[in-house]
Amino acid sequence: SVLLVPSCRFLLSGDICGRRPLASSHSSNMRIVGGVDTLPGTWPWIVSIQIPTTTGFRHTCGGSLISPRWVITAAHCFLNKRYLEHWKLVFGAAQLSRPGPDAQERTIKNLVEHQHYRSSTYFNDVALMELSHPINCSDYIQPACLPDMNIEISSLTRCYVSGWGVTDVSKPKVTSDILQEAKVNLIPITTCNSTAWYDKKIHYNNLCAGHEEGGIDTCQGDSGGPLMCREHRSERFWLVGVTSWGAGCARAMRPGIYSSMQHFLKWVKDETPGSFSSRLHAYQLFQRRKKTGGCTFPRAGLLLSDVCNSILAIKWCFF
């Protein structure tokens, strides 16, 4: 007999992006620094980007699956592009040393860094990786949803970060073998740009997330991974940010800084032609009319693959 494995495109047509079939409920004290382990399938769009070393592959950054062929991450993860054709992407794993039978691996066919990325200021710190061949979706591997400008990000209150980065700031070169997660708060850019915080260093296309008192944050090895917020009255998560930078890890008034996916949605669509459905406009129209109570357009059957793009934001990669 022949085993047919559904592609991500097939699953997207079923309105499944941004959903977590295997996820358990979250506790309120999750954090990456000093973190809490996740179970397989908790964040099914997250990707481990690994580089070859003399002792094997080593995790360096995170990423997010946004379509069958594309992953989004941070541009600063590629300051050193040596042996890029030998880098490895791991999907569907929670424990990197024992990824399990549901994990899949791909290599990088093509790298697209934002054309206006500035390494000195982390401006436009996003990049896309085209996979060597399309990924097969499962309960453990799902695409993320990218929000358009109609989504009110500031109103979302259940936000999380996740990654395999450093969990103990006293050991800055030791990353986690098991995927960690943390609940964070979105912080207004005006607050983050104030003199006592980041003093006008935050760009208009950034998001700021963490805790004013510190203690919970992304850290080294989390770059490129996702900042994810749950939709109101729904189980869907939006990939609202890609982890970019920060001053240290888990310090008071120094929360994590993320590239805002709303600002980069058009760039993603332009750089991934044919990856997403032409029905995006219909979905946006439905969302706008739903707010005014004048829409009878059925939600069932809409392809979300236009807006459902995933981004794993993770901070401070290392080589």
Q: What is the mean pLDDT of residues 189-193?
A: 94
pLDDT digits (tens, 9 = 90+) for 309-319: 333 222 333 32
Tell me whether residue 9 is in a domain: no
Q: Which helix (H) or strand (E) holds 286?
A: helix 280-292
Tell me whether residue 192 is in a domain: yes
Of 287, 310, 291, the residue nearest 299 (C-alpha):
287
Number of structural domains the chain divides into: 1
**What's the mean pLDDT when you consider all of the chain?**
78
Tell me the torsion sign for CA atoms 136, 107, 66, 279: negative
Tokens of 58: 């080593």
Judged against a pLDDT cut of 60, whether residue 114 lies above it is answered with: yes
Tell me whether residue 217 is in a domain: yes
Q: How far is CA 204 from CA 124, 188, 260, in A?
A: 10, 11, 9
pLDDT digits (tens, 9 = 90+) for 192-223: 999 999 999 999 999 999 887 765 656 767 89
Strand-pairing partners, residue 184, are: 159
Tell me whether residue 251 is in a domain: yes
Which of the pair, 88 or 292, is modelled with greater confidence? 88
Find the domain containing 162 and state its range: 23-272
Query: Catalytic residue at 119?
Result: no
Q: How far apart are CA 185 and CA 120, in angstroms?
A: 26
pLDDT at 268: 97
Tell me whether residue 188 is in a domain: yes
Q: Among the options 138, 162, 176, 223, which is catalytic?
A: 223
Tell me whether residue 285 is in a domain: no
pLDDT at 124: 98
Alpha helices in 237-279 (DSSP H): 261-271
Q: How far apart are CA 286 and CA 283, in angstroms?
A: 5
pLDDT range class, residue 71, cuts 50, 70, 90: very high
pTM here is 0.79
pLDDT at 127: 98
What CATH number has the domain bearing residue 144?
2.40.10.10
pLDDT at 163: 93
Cβ contact 83:51 at 8 Å: yes
pLDDT at 284: 42
Q: Which amino acid makes up residue 253?
A: M
**What's phi and psi for 291, nearest 5 deg?**
-65, -30
Which of the pair, 182 or 313, is modelled with greater confidence? 182
Tell me whether residue 202 is in a domain: yes
Query: Catalytic residue at 125?
Result: yes
Q: Among the options 48, 59, 64, 76, which is catalytic?
A: 76
Rounded to 5°, the CA angle 189-193-197 comes to: 115
Of 231, 203, 2, 210, the residue nearest 114 (C-alpha):
203
Judged against a pLDDT cut of 60, whether residue 83 lies above it is answered with: yes
Q: Among the options 15, 48, 125, 222, which is catalytic?
A: 125
Tell me whether residue 182 is in a domain: yes
Q: How far apart are CA 284 and CA 291, in angstroms?
A: 11
Q: How far apart are CA 207 and CA 184, in angstroms?
A: 12
Query: Catalytic residue at 76?
Result: yes
